[in-house]
């Protein structure tokens, strides 16, 4: 097993991409810590346990530094270490033009999507430094480099994660800590429901959306992202840091047409 005897914190691990990663890690022998704002995470944990996996659920708002520290202290108290941190928790707001985004909404998106990543890293890194080992995986988005919709606050936060990834990769390399980012494209999760017009079939709408932008001509899945996360979390990627991997079926490649 690729993650035997490892301990991983997965924020936003209750559903969507985070759940896919949690299930994959558990299959590979990892003790998973599912972090979420609601009790939904307990259902994901129960599913993992039913399949022979192990882990715990910790309710936590990652935009709150006190709650983040309490969450990490609980994990250290239980397992004595944190080998892997997956910063996946995010708010996927409804696309809006700049002038329609309120200051409150902007602050909320940045607080969870960017500040939350910073707070989790700050709380976990000292324990990784002590062990001289660690894997940090930041789940950014294709929107960080090729926005697909009008959502300046979301794109800004996800781009900020890339900057944080590169800075920490350089800073933490002497401690044998790898820091990388994954940039998912259009992925079939509950978060997509917010961009579907009322009364429109989800898959018909999304099929039209991907035709011109996804060379593979399909939506991504949480499992697509989880496979890449497994590589970055395992020792197969022990010499990979400061990198970003796009998981988007070929986006943002554009076809070349010849007359």
Average pLDDT, the chain: 92
Q: What is the pLDDT of residue 57?
A: 98
Tokens of residue 54, six digits: 């192990």
Burial 16-44, CB ≥16 within 10 A → b, else e? bbbbbbbbbbbbbebbbbbbbbeebbeeb
Q: What is the pLDDT of residue 148?
A: 63
Is 60 exceeded by the pLDDT of residue 33? yes
Task: Collapse the DSSP code of 229 into the 3-class scheme (helix H, G, I; strand E, B; otherwise coil) and give the result.
Answer: helix
Over range 28-42, report the average pLDDT.
96
Q: 215-221, long-range: CB within 8 Å, 24+ apart, which pairs? A: 215/249, 215/250, 215/251, 215/253, 215/255, 216/249, 216/250, 217/249, 218/249, 219/186, 219/187, 219/188, 220/184, 220/185, 220/186, 220/187, 220/188, 220/247, 220/248, 220/249, 221/20, 221/187, 221/188
Q: pLDDT band for 197, please (50, 70, 90 cuts).
A: low
Task: Report which of residues 29 and 211 the model is more confident about.
Answer: 29
Q: For 232-251, write each residue's pLDDT tens digit.
A: 999 999 999 999 999 999 88
* Count of beta carbons in the 10 Å neighbourhood of residue 140: 28
Tokens of residue 166, six digits: 């590169």
The runs of H, that is alpha helices, within 86-217 are 103-110, 116-131, 152-172, 202-211
CA dihedral for 193, 109, 11, 128, sign (positive or negative): positive
Is 90 exceeded by the pLDDT of residue 198? no
Is 60 exceeded by the pLDDT of residue 221? yes
Q: Are 88 and 18 within 8 A, CB to CB?
A: yes
Q: What is the pLDDT of residue 30?
A: 98
Enumerate domains of the chain plus CATH numbers: 7-193+222-247 (3.40.50.720)
Lowest mean pLDDT among 9-13, 71-75, 86-90, 200-204: 200-204
Over range 149-157, report the average pLDDT.
88
Q: For 59-100, write each residue's pLDDT tens digit.
A: 999 999 999 999 999 999 999 999 999 999 999 888 889 999
Radius of gyration of the chain (CA): 18
- Entry pTM: 0.93
Q: For 161-178, write each residue's pLDDT tens digit.
A: 999 999 999 999 999 999
Tokens of residue 71, six digits: 């969450």
Is 80 exceeded by the pLDDT of residue 19? yes
Q: What is the pLDDT of residue 236?
A: 98
Q: What is the pLDDT of residue 259?
A: 56
Q: What is the pLDDT of residue 48?
A: 97
Tokens of residue 181, six digits: 């980012």
Q: Which of 79, 106, 154, 203 is labelled catalytic?
A: 154
Residue 106 a catalytic site member: no
Q: pLDDT band for 255, please (50, 70, 90 cuts).
A: low
């Amino acid at each position: 097993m690729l993650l035997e005897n490892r301990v991983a914190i997965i924020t936003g691990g209750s559903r969507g991409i985070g759940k896919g990663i949690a299930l994959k890690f558990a299959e590979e022998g990892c003790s998973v810590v599912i972090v979420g704002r609601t009790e939904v995470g307990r259902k994901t944990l129960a599913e993992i346990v039913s399949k022979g996996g192990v882990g715990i659920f910790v309710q936590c708002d990652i935009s709150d530094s006190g709650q983040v520290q309490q969450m990490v202290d609980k994990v250290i108290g239980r397992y004595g270490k944190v080998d892997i941190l997956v910063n996946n928790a995010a708010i996927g707001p409804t696309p809006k033009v700049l002038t329609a985004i309120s200051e409150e909404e902007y602050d909320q998106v940045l607080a969870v999507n960017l500040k939350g990543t910073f707070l989790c890293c700050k709380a976990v890194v000292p324990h990784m430094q002590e062990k001289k080992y660690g894997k940090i995986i930041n789940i950014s988005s294709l929107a960080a480099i090729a926005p697909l919709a009008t959502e300046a606050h979301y794109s800004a936060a996800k781009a900020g994660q890339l900057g944080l990834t590169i800075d920490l990769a350089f800073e933490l390399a002497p401690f044998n800590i790898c820091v990388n980012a994954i940039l998912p494209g259009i992925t079939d999760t509950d978060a997509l429901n917010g961009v579907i017009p009322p009364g429109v079939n989800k898959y018909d709408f999304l099929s039209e959306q991907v035709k011109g932008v996804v060379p593979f001509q399909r939506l991504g899945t949480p499992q697509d992202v989880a496979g890449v996360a497994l590589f970055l979390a395992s020792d197969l990627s022990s010499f990979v840091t400061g990198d970003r991997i796009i998981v988007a079926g070929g986006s943002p490649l554009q076809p070349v047409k010849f007359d």
